[in-house]
Structure 1
Amino acid sequence: MRNNRKLTAVIWDWNGTLLNDVKVSLLSVNEELAARNLPQISENFYRSHFDFPVKDFYQKLGINFSRDNFDEMSRRFLETYFRNLQLATLHEGVEEVLQFLKDHGIRQYVLSAMEQKRLEKMLAGYGIDHFFEKIQGLDDIYADGKRSASEKLIETIHPDKSSTWMVGDTLHDLDVANAMGIHCVLLSSGHQTRERLLRQHDRVVNNYREIKEFFALLI
């Protein structure tokens, strides 16, 4: 019976998990660094050090918020991000896995630190919004994490937490899943390296083929 399943719902992170946008984010970071004559960083450095809250990450790169306004920098970051968004694609296999879960009656949601209207527009633009019963983002553009958004989502959907899984690509996603009281599996091809993820979590997959195989065992 359905209520005996180990998987009844999946909450997906967007940036880095469904959307492969690491290169786009890196371009935005490096543009902010260049504007301050600070050293550019590589993709490997970015994935090895990126973290939430993002303000702390920027400070570690040398940006001084006693001189720079964080809100203004966040706005410029997003302007650069959306200017280069054509470089971002869905991870290979995303639509296959979303359809697989839909075919098995698994409820699906999106939880993101992106502003709500932009998030909805992006999901529609990539043609996958119809897979999700609820899309939950933030009320403003300033990416301070997704704890508050996760609380709203849980209050709205009332999932069976014992059979609900979050799929993310950062340790922050793991923290959010733990705060929601649900399970978590992390994708190692997003904004943080496999090595970083494995230091704190043992359920780490490399790609969507492995995600599908993992969930197939729970259905």
Structure 2
Amino acid sequence: MTPRRHCVWDWNGTILDDNQARLLAVNESLAGLQIAPIDIQQYRDTYCVPVPDFYARLLGRPLTRDEWLTADDTYQASYRRHLPHTSHLMGGARAALLSWIARGGTQSLLSLHTHEHLLAELSHHGVGTLFRLAEGRRGPTGGTKAAAMRRHVQNLGLPPQQIVAIGDSADDALAAEQAGIAVVLYAGGSHCEAALTATGAPVVHTLADAIDLALRKPSPTRPMARVGAAA
């Protein structure tokens, strides 16, 4: 088996525990749509990408364009307001990042978080220098990571067989599949474990276990099970 030498990490919900900020922001945006607030378990059971589909699940109907724009504006402003006071690195995240380097690997970061805010958060938490490359979202909100992952893998200039992704969502699994790289999913972030397991990708409960499995997981040989729009 080709040795795994590079890891592409997800940020939100994987390295950064921002679940509380996400929940507060979602509930503020739902209030504007006259929808009752949800709890963290409802969030993790329902969340999916593209994000407008997540709101559609909660409303029981698709959002209009104006509703989506208003909800997203409210969410983004609320998230930025709450994030500094409610977020922190996931338990074991710093140790996992250092462990990968100690085992001779390189690592990068690919996030759907706004690029400039991502770089600021990496600096704030003191982990920015641990990544060979860090890329956030530069386009519209609400989409999937698949196209960005394909570009990211190409920019790394490494054989896909040497790369593994670690993330917390079904969208991370789909993006890795489309980029032709292996993936390990962490069950402590935005998605419930059932949604992660439904992708067919391996699921772990600690980032230390994610590292151990990433080092030995075979490269993908067949498409994963599809789970609709869930991500």
Is the counterpart of residue 11 in structure 1 residue 35 in structure 2?
A: no
Cα distance change, pair 55–105 in 1 and its aligned pair in 2 (3 A) = same
Gaps of 5+ in 2: 218-231
Return the alpha-carbon distance in structure 2 between the equivalents of residues 196 and 165 of structure 1. Answer: 20
Contact 1:165/1:182, CA 8 A, preserved across alignment: yes
1:80 to 67, 78, 97: 78
Deviations 1:125-155 (A, max 9, x none): 1110101011112213513122232232122
Structure 1 residue aligned with 2:30: 33
Matched, 1:160 2:159: yes
1:115–1:141 contact (8 Å) kept in structure 2: no
Distance of 2:65 and 2:165 partners within structure 1: 38
- The more displaced of 71-80 and 124-133 is 71-80
Q: State the SS of the aligned residue for 1:189.
A: coil
Unaligned runs of at least 5 residues, structure 1 = none
Equivalent residue for 2:94? Answer: 95
Instruction: State TM-score, norm by structure 2.
Output: 0.86
Quote the Cα distance in structure 1 between the aligned partners of 2:141 and 2:101. 32
The 5 A counterparts of 1:42-81 are: 42-62=39-59, 65-66=63-64, 68-81=66-79
The residue type equivalent to 2:118 in the other structure is L
Matched AA of 1:59: A
State the alpha-carbon separation in 1 of the partners of residues 87 and 115 from structure 2: 19
Within the candidate set 19, 28, 50, 1:22 is matched to: 19
Aligned to 1:166, what secondary structure does the other structure show?
strand
Report percent identity of matched pairs: 26
Residue 162 (structure 1) shift: 0.9
- CA–CA distance in 2 between the matches of 1:138 and 1:214? 28
Letter in 2 for 1:162: Q
Q: How far apart, in 2, do the equivalents of 1:215 and 1:177 lie?
A: 13
Q: Please state if 1:187 is matched with 2:165.
A: no
Superposed CA RMSD: 1.9
Q: 1:5 to 1:115 in 2, by over 3 A?
A: same
Per the TM alignment, residue 202 of structure 1 is displaced from its structure 2 partner at its CA by: 4.3
Equivalent AA in structure 2 for residue 56 of structure 1? D
